[in-house]
Structure formats: C-alpha cells, structure tokens
Amino acid sequence: MTELVDLFFTFSRIGVLTFGGGYAMLPILQREIVEDKKWAEDSELADYFAIGQCTPGIIAVNTATFIGCKRKGVAGGIVATLGLVFPALIIITVIAAFLRNFADLQPVKDAFAAVRVCVCVLILNAVIKLGKSSVKDTVTLIIFLCVFLLSFFTNYSPILWVVLAAAAGILVKGGRRA
Amino acid sequence: MIYLKLFYEFAKIGLFSVGGGLATLPFLTDLGNSTGWFTPADLANMLAISESTPGAIGVNMATYVGFHVASLPGAAVATLGLVTPSIAVILVIAHMLKRFQQNRYVQNAFYALRPASTGLIAAAGMGVVSISILTLSDYSQTGNLLNLVNWKALVLAVALFFAMKKIKWHPAAFIAISAVIGIVFHFGS
C-alpha cells in the first residue's frame, strides 16, 4: 500500500515537472526513477521509452504504466498513470475556469489571436523535427505525403489513415526487418 | 449521456494516436468538426495553454477539451478515457515486452505509422494556419489576393520562426511574447 502511494506521488511530481511531454520527460524520469527511487536502471528506462513509442497512446502515459506495472503489477500501472495525469487535471481546470470568465475581453481576444499564430509555428517546427526522424526513404515519404493530402482534403477520421498506414507498412515490408 | 460519449471519444484517441506531443491534435480537430463541441480557434487556444503548463501535452489537451465540454467531471472523464487504452494495452503486453518490441510486424507497422502521424499533424497544422494566418472569408468576399493573408499575422509567424531557430527558449516563452504582441498590436481586430 505504501508503495502504491509512493508511486502515485512520484508520478504526480513527474507530471508537474514535465513541460511538453515526450522526450522532455526523459531527463526527469532518469532523476526521479533511476537515481532517486532506484525503481529501474538507465537501460531499462531506455527500453520502456522505446516500447512506449511503439504502443498506441501518449508516450508519457505508456512509460508511467510500464514502470508502475513493473513495481506493483496491474494496480501499480493504474496508480502510476493516475498520478501522472492528476496535476494536469488540477492545473488545466483552474486555468480553463479562469480564462472562461475573461474570454470575451478584447485584450484576451487580441492575445489569443497572436498566440494562435505562435501555435502555427510550433506545429511547423514539430512537423520538421518529426519528419526528420520518421521520413527516412521513398516509402515513408510517400506515406507522409498521402496521409497529409488525404487528411487535409477529405473529412474521414484520422483513424482510417492510421489503420491503412499500419497495414501498408506490414504489406510493403512483409516480415522483413524495417 | 455526454460523459459516456466523452470517455468513448477519448478512448478512441488514446488507442489510435501514435507518439507523443502533438499526436492527438489531428484527432481532436476531427472531434471538434464532428461534434461541434469546440471550434478550430478554441482548439488552437487550448493547445497554446497545454504547451505552456506542466504535464504531457496530450494529457493537458484531453483535460482542457473535457473541461470545455462538460466542466470538471468532463475533464476527469476525458483524461481517464485517453489513458484507459494505454493501460490496457501495456498491461497485456507487459510480460512480453521485448518480444513485442522486436516483432517484425510491429516494427514494420510503426515504420509506416510514424510518417503517417507526422502527415496527420501537418494537415492539422494547415487547419490552424487557415484560421490564424489566412483570411479566407475576406478573400471570398473581395476576390482580392492581397486579402487572402492576414499580413500582421504572417509577419509575426515569420519573425517567430527565425527567432525560434536562433534562441532555444521553451515554447511557453514564445507563447507569452506572442500574447503581449497580440495585445499591443490589436491582433484580434
């Protein structure tokens, strides 16, 4: 029981300390999980992270579930994940409730109109960065372009393109090494 | 029953989004379009807040959208929906981690899923561009090509792009600077 409580609060702390998720979380996991708690070794953490990337869902959530599961089984996996998302629930709710009251003020509208421009640039940078690691050859370039154009110009759910892409990867590569 | 619907929609997102960070954005764009729960501009605002607050972006976005739709219970339900498939999948494969990771079919699926996820994010990004830098309604009214672009916004975007290349600050710093610029130069009008 005490270890479950410990899991919850350790991952809550990781949730508060992480800005941005994904790779931003790795150094914090290293400090909290490997150095401080000694719940895993560096190489194990790297494995969890790699597996977190090739399972569905948010990488940060997947990694938390893995580590919790390793410590305390199913209950540990659930508790660690709940710990991770708990701070977001509090922080975002407070900010959202606060902003809701001021959303109609002109300065707030002005601020967000410019912030949305900043969001465009952040997304562009993310796409460039992800593109460099995911578009590696002709096949991946074709998949990128097809999904981009089909998703932009049609209204089908992204789920369709995800399922088709996974199928395409298996069909094109067969049982060979990727 | 709005909570069941929220849980179901976010469970789908948790199951089909691949990778971290912005991977859920295209799914949320689709969710907004199909339910009318929030506009593309609402979503871009929520993304800015999610990038500027602690926590994984995907989790923050789910919490924010859930709150926007159905207050605090909505935030909790959406977040639980998002993480449920992760927990289920990982608990199932936890005892055969290595074999799963090294399975050729899994590797080949993800070889294709990563560029697909990038393509989806790029398309969602174009959606945000079309509401924040382009002014399509002005253009369709006047037919003047000069009215196609919000020039103030374009100048800011180009300036931010080069500033981010030069200065490696956290995105939250650039979001805050943009907010100030928006207020000073009346971006909302």
Q: What is the pLDDT of residues A63-74, one digit of tens each?
A: 899 889 888 989
Same domain, B46 and B19: yes
Distance CA B7, CA B83 (A): 10
My answer on whether B109 and B164 are in the same domain is no
Are B62 and B154 part of one and the same domain?
A: no
How far, in whole angstroms, is CA A84 from its chain's centroid? 12
State pLDDT tens for residues A114-173.
999 999 999 999 899 889 989 999 999 999 999 999 999 998 999 999 999 999 999 988
Q: How many Å apart are CA A154 and CA A135, to the nearest integer? A: 23
Q: Which residues in chain A have their CB less than 8 angstroms from residue B51's CB?
A: 20, 119, 122
Q: Which of A57, A151, A166 sits opposite B112 (nearest CB)?
A: A166
How confident is the model at residue A23, as a pLDDT? 67
Q: Say if residue B99 is in the same domain as residue B159.
A: no
Condensed to tens digits (0 to 9), the pLDDT of residues B41-74 reads 999 999 999 988 888 889 999 999 999 999 999 9
- Per the structure, the complete domain to which residue B141 belongs is given by 135-189
**Min Cα–Cα distance to chain A from B142, Å:** 22
B153 and B169 share a domain?
yes
- Tokens representing A32 are 């909290």
Task: For residues B13-41, give the mean pLDDT.
Answer: 91
B67 and B26 within one domain = yes
Name residues 92-121 of chain A within 8 A of B (Cβ): 92-93, 95-97, 99, 106-107, 109-121
User: Out of B85-89, B110-114, B140-144, B172-176, which region has the weakest mean confidence (pLDDT)?
Assistant: B140-144
Query: Are residues B126 and B139 located together in one domain of the fold?
Result: no
Measured CA to CA, the distance from residue A164 to residue B113 in angstroms comes to: 9
Asked if residue B126 and residue B184 are part of one domain, the reply reads: no
Q: Which residue has the higher pLDDT, A56 or B26?
A: B26
| Residue with token string 């954005």 | B25
Instruction: Please give the interface size between A and B, counted as residue pairs whose CB atoms are below 8 Å apart.
Output: 387
Look at A147 and B14 and tell me if their CB atoms are within 8 Å: no
Q: Report pLDDT digits (tens) over A4-51.
A: 999 999 999 998 888 766 667 778 888 888 899 888 888 888 878 777
Q: What is the pLDDT of residue A177?
A: 60
Provide mean pLDDT across the span A61-89.
Answer: 92
Q: State percent of chain B over pLDDT 70.
A: 100
**In whole angstroms, how far apart are CA A145 and each of A29, A56, A126, B114, B117?**
35, 22, 16, 12, 11
Q: For residue B180, give the amino acid letter.
A: V
How many Cβ atoms from other residues are within 10 Å of residue A50's Cβ? 13
- Candidates B118, B144, B104; CA nearest to B25 is B118
CA separation (Å) from B86 to A37, A66, B90? 24, 10, 6
Q: Is B149 on the interface with A (CB under 8 A)?
A: no
Domain end (from B88, B107, B132): B132
pLDDT of residue A21: 61
Closest Cβ–Cβ partner in A61, A95, A121 for B160: A121
End position of a domain, from candidates B132, B152, B168:
B132
Looking at the structure, do residues B95 and B18 belong to the same domain, yes or no?
yes
**CA pair distance A26, A18, nearest whole angstrom:** 9
Of A88, A92, A133, the C-alpha closest to B121 is: A133
Q: Is B12 on the interface with A (CB under 8 A)?
A: yes
Chain B touched by A28 (CB under 8 Å): no
Complex prediction ipTM: 0.90
Instruction: Output the six-digit token pair for A114.
Output: 């410019």
Give residue A78's Cα distance to chain centre: 17
Choose, out of A100, A120, A163, the residue to mutate when testing the contact with B (most B CBs < 10 Å): A120
Q: Cβ of B121 under 8 Å from any chain A Cβ?
A: yes
pLDDT digits (tens, 9 = 90+) for B90-142: 888 877 777 877 888 888 988 999 999 999 999 999 999 999 999 877 777 87
Q: Number of structural domains, chain B? A: 2
Instruction: Share the mean pLDDT of chain A.
Output: 89
Token pair belonging to B148? 């196609």
Length of chain B: 189
Same domain assignment for residues B36 and B126: yes
Are B6 and B90 found together in one domain? yes
> Domain ends where: B132, B156, B181?
B132
Q: Are B50 and B104 found together in one domain?
A: yes
B141 with B46: CB under 8 angstroms? no
What type of residue is B142? T
Joined together, the tokens standing for residue B166 give 């030069």
